């Protein structure tokens, strides 16, 4: 996968995907594997906005059960299973636990776990044994303390399994590699300038697609190509991108979420959940460190204020962990769809425009991005009246969804030569886990 601006130019692509985060990467993978000619452009570098700031969890849908959203729960179970199947080198089961100090908590967790196990009866279908998700358990006080030490002492505990995406940057790159291998033209640092329907002699618009003009931000060269369909997966910029095509997403509400990576592993090898003032926080083990999150705001206050709020909440929720401000290795921050109550929306949404050849994706979760991409590509096939091959993205393994191998200098070289990294900083932040862990960057992601 090498950077080639000319692969875009002078061609008509079935679909132009705008945005190189997890949503756009899945659409490129899905479309190219089903016979569409795909172009993907990203104004910055791949996976560097909200996709960089995930809590690394592939959720099985327990939160959907709390809202009695069985369809959302079943989708999450299927998509967690798909991730464990197609990226087994970077997606693995992870135990989660939360104390149940009151009898009512025990009763609630017992029945919730029972429903979870029943409705996720096929959670391990087609998975190899070491990637199977276990059943829920309600541990008595002694067994809880044995599992979680101080984190779970003094009360029974509810334990369940979800999955962890240990290297989210490699999932994005694995998808882009697969799309490129199937013929997709992929380009980072490419700014979209205009997208118009070419006019006919009578002054009306053509129905054949869009003439797109863009700028290669590396060389400054202008690029012109055609696309029959546009998928707007630009994350927090979806409204701005929609306006390039004279459309609108009606400025969908977005809220800012923050996680922090702590330089110490403070967990007892399981992820610990706890309530703080009505909201759930999680302290999650991750590659020798801990991640803590997530809290949200409207994005108007300085980021430091939200980080301070998260640290204070963490100290209240996890008093046994001894969390200190100086533990912060890096801050992960991004924007997700928001509900009127200030909480995130947990299901992605596809926005239809007045122009039927444009779709926008309002992305909610890593877990279900593949399912959203499949829905979008199905719609593209219908609008273009183009027969598509069956989807294989839920079962075909992604060969490059794995950590790069070798010493740091060798991995940087691979990222620069085969993954469009411009320099060491690009490689570390966008393609290697060191960036996400804060080992090679400062606490706000700038080069150290």
Q: How far apart are CA 338 and CA 344, in angstroms?
A: 4
Tens of pLDDT, residue by residue over 19-48, are 999 999 999 999 999 999 999 999 999 999
CATH class assigned to 5-52+169-252+347-403? alpha beta
Where residue 343 falls among pLDDT bands split at 50, 70, 90?
Answer: confident
pLDDT of res. 63? 87
Equal CATH topology for 5-52+169-252+347-403 and 91-165+253-337: no
Residue by residue, DSSP assigns 171-205 as HHHHHHHHHHHTT-EEEESEEEEEEEPPBPTTSPB
Contact 90, 402 (CB under 8 A): yes
Report DSSP letters for 251-273, one per residue: ---EEEEEEEEESS--SSSSEEE
Question: For 210, what's the count of Cα atoms within 13 Å in the CB-facing half-sphere?
Answer: 26
- Position 440 scores a pLDDT of 64
pLDDT band at 204 (very low <50, low <70, confident <90, very high): very low
- The confidence score (pLDDT) of residue 202 equals 43
Residue ranges of domains in the chain: 5-52+169-252+347-403, 91-165+253-337, 415-448
The mean per-residue pLDDT over the stretch 290-294 comes to: 95
CB 172 within 8 A of CB 46: yes
Report whether pLDDT(446) > 80: no
Fold of domain 91-165+253-337: D-Amino Acid Oxidase; Chain A, domain 2 (3.30.9)
Instruction: List, for residues 214-262, the tens digit of each pLDDT value.
Output: 999 999 999 999 999 999 999 999 999 999 999 999 989 999 999 999 9
Which pLDDT band holds residue 96 (cuts at 50, 70, 90)?
A: very high
The reported pTM is: 0.94
């Amino acid at each position: 996968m090498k950077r080639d601006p000319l692969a875009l130019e002078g061609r008509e692509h079935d679909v132009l995907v705008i945005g190189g985060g997890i949503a756009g990467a899945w659409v490129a993978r899905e479309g190219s594997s089903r016979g569409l000619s795909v172009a993907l452009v990203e104004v910055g570098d791949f996976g560097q906005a909200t996709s960089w700031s995930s809590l690394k969890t592939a959720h099985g849908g327990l939160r959907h059960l709390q809202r009695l959203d069985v369809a959302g729960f079943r989708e999450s179970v299927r998509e967690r299973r798909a991730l464990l199947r197609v990226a087994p080198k970077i997606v693995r089961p992870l135990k989660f636990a939360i104390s149940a100090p009151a009898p009512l908590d025990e009763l609630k967790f017992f029945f919730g776990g029972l429903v979870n196990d029943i409705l996720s009866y096929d959670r391990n279908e087609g998975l190899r044994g070491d990637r199977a998700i276990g059943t829920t358990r309600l541990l008595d006080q002694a067994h809880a303390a044995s599992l979680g030490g101080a984190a779970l002492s003094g009360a029974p505990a509810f334990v369940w399994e979800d999955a962890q995406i240990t290297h989210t940057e490699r999932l994005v790159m694995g998808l882009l590699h697969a799309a490129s291998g199937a013929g997709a033209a992929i380009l980072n640092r490419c700014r979209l300038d205009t997208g118009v329907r070419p006019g006919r002699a009578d002054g009306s618009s053509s129905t054949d697609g869009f003439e797109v003009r863009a700028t290669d931000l590396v060389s400054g060269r202008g690029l012109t190509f055609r696309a029959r369909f546009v998928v707007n997966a630009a994350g927090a910029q979806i409204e701005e991108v929609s306006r390039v095509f004279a459309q609108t997403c009606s400025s969908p509400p977005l809220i800012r979420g923050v996680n922090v990576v702590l330089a110490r592993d403070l967990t007892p090898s399981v992820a610990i959940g706890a309530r703080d003032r009505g909201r759930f926080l999680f302290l999650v083990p991750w590659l020798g460190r801990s991640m803590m999150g997530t809290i949200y705001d409207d994005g108007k206050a300085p980021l430091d204020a939200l980080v301070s709020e998260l640290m204070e909440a963490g100290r209240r929720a996890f008093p046994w962990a001894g969390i200190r401000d100086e533990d912060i290795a890096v801050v992960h921050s991004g924007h997700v769809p928001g509900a009127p109550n200030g909480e995130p929306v947990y299901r992605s949404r596809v926005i239809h425009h007045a122009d039927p050849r444009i779709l926008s994706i309002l992305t909610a979760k890593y877990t279900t991005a593949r399912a959203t991409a499949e829905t979008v590509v199905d719609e593209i096939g219908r609008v273009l009246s183009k027969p598509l091959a069956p989807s294989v993205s839920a079962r075909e393994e992604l060969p490059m969804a794995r950590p790069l191998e070798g010493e740091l200098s060798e991995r940087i070289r691979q990222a620069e030569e085969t993954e469009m990294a411009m320099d060491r900083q690009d490689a570390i932040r966008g393609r290697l886990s060191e960036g996400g862990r804060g080992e090679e960057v400062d606490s706000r992601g700038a080069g150290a």
